[in-house]
Chain A
């Protein structure tokens, strides 16, 4: 079931990528190409045949339900396919293989480049850009990149498909996920509820403990005197005062490297989120 990108379509892809920015007419022409890929293309050979088949069936079911193509492509090194970055390569492949569904070529493509652990999640078309807007798309990567980071390839793609369907469902309901409508996994929801419940139970416990202790203190008004400041005559007579520098100690703490976050790109109707996993 392996499909090979290299070979007969490579030159076509490169040509599309290089020519696409030239004119708007050229940009539209790629839609007419006949070259096709399945939903799952495992060029890096990280999935078993059974896993590919299962993912393919799920992706097809999503396409059937929403009229929207959801694609997964793995390669060893995206640089073998284009001179651009991972986003540009994903875009070139999408165009080169005429991915997408319907006249608007709506679709979502996740490209994994295994060697350098790069990824790009791009979408095309009005439906794609509505359902997978920048905020929602970037948030979506949190649900599967952790699996890829652990080399749990199948789990990561399964999550990708599951969340793609949820995003499409939310968009169909007119409430696409974004920063104003944050998607949460069941685990996230359970965790958040747990934190809320813990806070709702514990904070009152702490408040009531402090209040009761203060009230307890009001029942006691007798204590031994520990000092005699009230009986000091004329205050402290300071007869000696020395502040002598002794030494310096130096501590160095490495500044944590700022993790480079995902980058967001837009080009020719494509929107993409790219980064490392």
Chain B
């Protein structure tokens, strides 16, 4: 069964529209017409609905067709022919979706979680409305503010001040892929409340006769409190590395918009494939840790504080579904894949870099050499020469 897709075409010339990060509007690549997201949304709302409905009908038909095929295969088998390896090109393989590019007609297959993509043949931005419809529809989106050029510039900046970065990696760095992706996130509201116990020590030392006496006062310290949280983000995509997504925080929620597919053309987007239940533990852990640290910060006036235990409850609140902008940059070096990500809103850039072991060894020797010479000079200054002179004498 072929997935129903939508491509946002310019009402003036039918050229593909794409979201322009600098203006926050959709622009036509051919006639330079500009449209607001609201205008585009209104224009294509009906088309999206039709695509969703068409996909529902198509799924029913596909089910019927599959039934008929199964019956035919059974009949063929009874007649002695094995057709089990045959598969309809239009059907969706496991974990994949097939669709026809509305622009060039190419038969394409994408990941089943893909919600927005581009045709590899004509680069036409394509939306898969059924991925963002009904319960799957995100509540919010933070539009991309930074461009691909910004991401490339940030990567170059990321290389600076990295002492062990192989020169070849920097000089011959060819990006395998760079793409802007709207990553699905769950935003968790809630409250952590609980208590923590500590033992605080205050000491006073004085002289009594021939003894130094230390009197240590022990206090049982108890704190209770609560912390409310708003929109702790947890990425809901299995494809995205959690640590990478955590490292891109924070996002400025002040620029968050109600979701519209009009923000998607020109970028990739995934629907969530990690459920709220699967992601909530990470939000819970962060909330719990934050409360414990907050309570600990109120314990003062002691020279030593021992933590004796804590008890934290979580009051879970509303969960929202949002698409947040991430630039993904992939490169391969020495047969290893290196991934970099940039917050598409704030420009925060992260990614591990390869280490040139030769450079590292050389730097270690340089640092050791400089420190050795400095220490030797100091030692000589402190009288090592005198010692040798004495030995000589």
Contact = CB atoms under 8 A, between A and B. Distances in A.
Interface of A: 184, 189, 192-193, 196, 199-201, 203-205, 207-208, 211-212, 215-216, 218-255
A204 to B, nearest CB: 3
B220 interface: yes
Given A199-B379, A221-B351, A252-B211, A238 B161 contact: no
A205 to B, nearest CB: 7
A229 B164 CA distance: 33
A233 B191 CA distance: 9
Given A196-B387, A248-B217, 9 more contacts: A189-B387, A215-B363, A222-B351, A231-B231, A240-B195, A245-B218, A249-B218, A251-B214, A253-B214
A250 B215 contact: yes
Contact of B230 (A200, A212, A233, A254): A233
A229 B289 CA distance: 9
* Most chain B CB neighbours (cut-off 10 Å) among A205, A225, A246: A225
A219 B162 contact: yes
Interface stretch (B84-92, B135-143, B366-374): B366-374
15 contacts: A200-B372, A215-B163, A215-B363, A218-B161, A219-B164, A223-B246, A223-B247, A226-B285, A231-B231, A232-B294, A236-B225, A236-B291, A243-B222, A246-B218, A249-B218
Contact of A243 (B200, B230, B283): B200
A239 B250 contact: no
A251 B213 contact: yes
Nearest to B353: A219
A228 B290 contact: yes
Contact of A224 (B218, B242, B287, B387): B242
B155 interface: no
B207 interface: yes
B64 to A, nearest CB: 48
Chain A, interface SS category: mixed
Contacts of B387: 184, 189, 192-193, 196
B222 A232 contact: no
A4 to B, nearest CB: 42
B165 interface: yes
B211 A233 contact: no
Contacts of A192: 387
A219 B375 contact: no
A184 B287 CA distance: 65
A254 B285 CA distance: 49
Interface string B185-216: 00000000001000110000001101111111
A260 to B, nearest CB: 16
A252 B376 CA distance: 44
A171 B382 CA distance: 24
A223 B379 contact: no
Contacts of A207: 367-368, 371
Given A223-B246, A227-B293, A243-B219, A208 B368 contact: yes
B5 interface: no
A254 B349 CA distance: 59
B375 A199 contact: yes
Contacts of B211: 252-255
A187 B294 CA distance: 58
A216 B162 CA distance: 9
A224 B224 contact: no
A25 B22 CA distance: 110
Contacts of A232: 227-229, 290, 294
A246 B232 contact: no
A223 B243 contact: yes
A202 to B, nearest CB: 9
A231 B186 CA distance: 14
B163 A218 contact: yes
B175 interface: no
B384 interface: yes
Contacts of A184: 387, 390
A129 B361 CA distance: 59
A176 to B, nearest CB: 14
Nearest to B187: A231
Given A226-B286, A251-B213, A239 B224 contact: yes
